Amino acid sequence: MNKKQSIQSLVLAAILTAVIALVTGFLQIPIGVSGYIHPGDAFIYLTAALLPTPFAVAAAAIGAGLADFFAGAPIWIPFTVVIKACMALCLTAKKDTIVHMRNIVGALIAGVINAVGYYLAEAILYGNWLAPLMGAPMSAVQSAAGLALFAVLGLALDRYGLKNKLRS
């Protein structure tokens, strides 16, 4: 990667970090009594499909961690940083398009990492290994929503030719 590409990746990572923080922390759609979904995971997937891995992992971890901070939930930051970084590792920017089979499968795996990661985090924080199972259906909804939005946005950006425009 040359200097121009590094600077471009750093700038795009900074922008996407802010986007992830904003859409995760401030665009929450209530579901059920105490649950919600947010578009943050979709933007983590987009980030991982657009940027080299180290930049994508940093943007996902920092952006989602900032969302927890802004939401007044700093106790979740260490867990979120690890979970979202691992999710970003599941997708790749090495293909010519954003949406392709590798990234769809990667997003599915990332959804499992999200659900298992937050189950473990809740069990550790609350000292109860059974109660966090109640959140499993919400985790599935959040993961499905993130994948669906990623596919829609990714296909639109692929149609626009975003990856080619970023390379030139």
pLDDT of residue 34: 63
Three-state DSSP class for residue 16? helix
Domain of 20, CATH number, reads 1.10.1760.20
Q: What is the DSSP letter of 86?
A: H
In this prediction, the residues of the chain whose per-residue pLDDT falls under 50 are: none
> Which token pair is 128?
């109860």
Q: What is the tally of structural domains in the chain?
A: 1
In one-letter notation, the amino acid at residue 78 is P
Model confidence over 118-166: pLDDT tens digits? Answer: 999 999 999 999 988 888 888 888 899 999 999 999 999 999 999 998 8
Q: Which residues contact 156 (CB under 8 A, 6 or more apart)?
A: none
pTM score, whole prediction: 0.94
Residue 28, classed as helix, strand or coil, is coil
For 45-108, give the DSSP string: HHHHHHS-HHHHHHHHHHHHHHHHHHTT-GGGHHHHHHHHHHHHTTS-S-SSSSSSHHHHHHHH
Domain around 43 = 3-167
